[in-house]
Amino acid sequence: MKQTKLAFIADTHHFSKTLADNGRQYHLRSGSDQKCLLETGDIIDAAFAMLAKSDCDAVLIAGDVSDDGEVVCHEEFREKLRVLQKSKPVYLITATHDWCSDENPRRYVGDAVLTDVPVLDHTELRDFYADFGPNQALSEFRTHLGVSSFTVDVGENVRVLALNDDQSGMGGAGFSEEHFQWIEAQLAKAKEDGKIVVGMEHHLLIAHIHPMLTARSCVKDREIVAARLADAGLRYMFEGHSHMQAIDTFTSPKGNTITSVNIGSLVGYPAPIFYVTVQDDGLHIEEERVQSFTHEGKTIDAQPYLKAHATALIDRLVEGALISKDEFADRLSAMGLKGGDLRNLYYVVHPFAKLYFSANVGTLAKVMRFLGLGRFLDPAAVAQYREKPFRDFVHETWLSILDGRGRGVGDENYTKLVVGVGDALVQLRSCKLTLELRQALRSIVTKDYFSNAVI
């Protein structure tokens, strides 16, 4: 069998430099996001240059290609696609950020957030990106929104099933009954044609890491959808949306298994490209990361830059509680939360904000013992990591979520510390939330999804 190599990226969220100046509102918005904003075009250019030089047979993009549906973002991104398409076939699906489903596009000028930005309607997206899938499709399905799902062959043995799951018509992401019937017909046709089918959608099929973290990022009725796809013969699904990375499997009641691969955002840490080689024994996944990009005339070392940007999301919010109640509320609002309603959390966060920035594990243990919470920390774990800054644990746990490589792999004391602090936060071991938080934290710090990724 001839090998076929696919390259997957997701969540490019291209943000046009015309939409922001260097004012306060832009910095509030930029500092409240794991992904970058003004740097997105430069990161995309670097990634596309890597893809153009690679040996992949096609590039697949799993949705949310624009920041929030702005016409200028789409136009700039499509020009980048056309350059890449000179070297590689490119196929993409769109998703909710590509038609501004929250009806609130934004640009940032000084202290103002303006909503006068022209956007593409969902009915326009199919034709706008017709050269990147629909025009090459073996079969196409237009949803009730007017967006497109399609199939396309790559190489001699692979058929890509590119699915737009923006709305099921029943109050969530997913597929209508008519859409599902088309999907099942395409899977049957691929089997008849002797093709290996690789699926791509935007929203999660499986609640990766733990439902506490990712259930809301999934298609509606995820287990029903996953079972129906598996029973129809689909074995592999690649997805974006969460900006996290993980690989998990689901087995239907009938015993059919589907593997779901979540791809991180290209424009935030870890800026991944997934190369997927289809072989006789399954799909082999290799992750390559953008290592550098040029921004404002300077060459940026991408990985430390993106790590710092991602962890600053946490630090800036905590820092806001050190500055003032109003600043804390503004930074909550910039994260898309209701800062006005949540501003009184300032009184909870403020006492611990200084500790967050200054404490090492030894200091944290003393404070927790003083508060009657010392029982949640394992003494041997504290002894091993006494001098390590507490903030480093927070940063590393967050990065483990984003890149799918647990910092506590093979280190039980590390895991005990992270889980113990989580237990202390909710205080009652019998509480359901405590159990779920412990399970989620243990999963985050002990799983390495990509050390030997063959699915």
Q: Residue 345 CB: number of other CB atoms within 10 A? A: 16
Q: What is the pLDDT of residues 385-443, one digit of tens each?
A: 999 999 999 999 999 999 999 999 999 999 999 988 888 877 655 556 667 777 888 89
Average pLDDT over residues 305-319: 95
Average pLDDT over residues 187-211: 96
Sign of CA dihedral 438, 442, 445, 451: negative
Give yes or no for residue 81 having a pLDDT over 60: yes
pLDDT of residue 22: 85
pLDDT of residue 439: 85
pLDDT of residue 433: 63
DSSP3 helix / strand / coil % (the chain, rounded to 5): 45, 20, 35
pLDDT of residue 162: 98
pLDDT of residue 6: 98
pLDDT of residue 228: 97
C-alpha count within 13 angstroms, C-beta hemisphere, residue 47: 34
Fold observed for domain 4-290: Purple Acid Phosphatase; chain A, domain 2 (3.60.21)
Average pLDDT over residues 353-369: 92
Average pLDDT over residues 152-178: 94
Q: Kindly report the average pLDDT of the chain as a whole number.
A: 93
DSSP structural state of residue 173: S
C-alpha count within 13 angstroms, C-beta hemisphere, residue 342: 16
Q: What is the pLDDT of residues 267-289, one digit of tens each?
A: 999 999 999 999 878 899 999 99
DSSP structural state of residue 76: H
Cα separation, 229 vs 180, in Å, equals: 9
Give yes or no for residue 371 having a pLDDT over 70: yes
Average pLDDT over residues 134-147: 97
Peptide bond between residue 270 and the one before it cis (omega within 30 degrees of 0): yes
**Residue 355 CB partners (closer than 8 Å, separation 6+):** 363, 364, 367, 390
Domain residue limits, the chain: 4-290, 304-358, 360-455
Cα separation, 361 vs 363, in Å, equals: 5
According to DSSP, the β-strands at 158-162 and 148-154 are antiparallel
Going by pLDDT thresholds of 50, 70 and 90, the confidence category of residue 169 is: confident
pLDDT of residue 249: 96
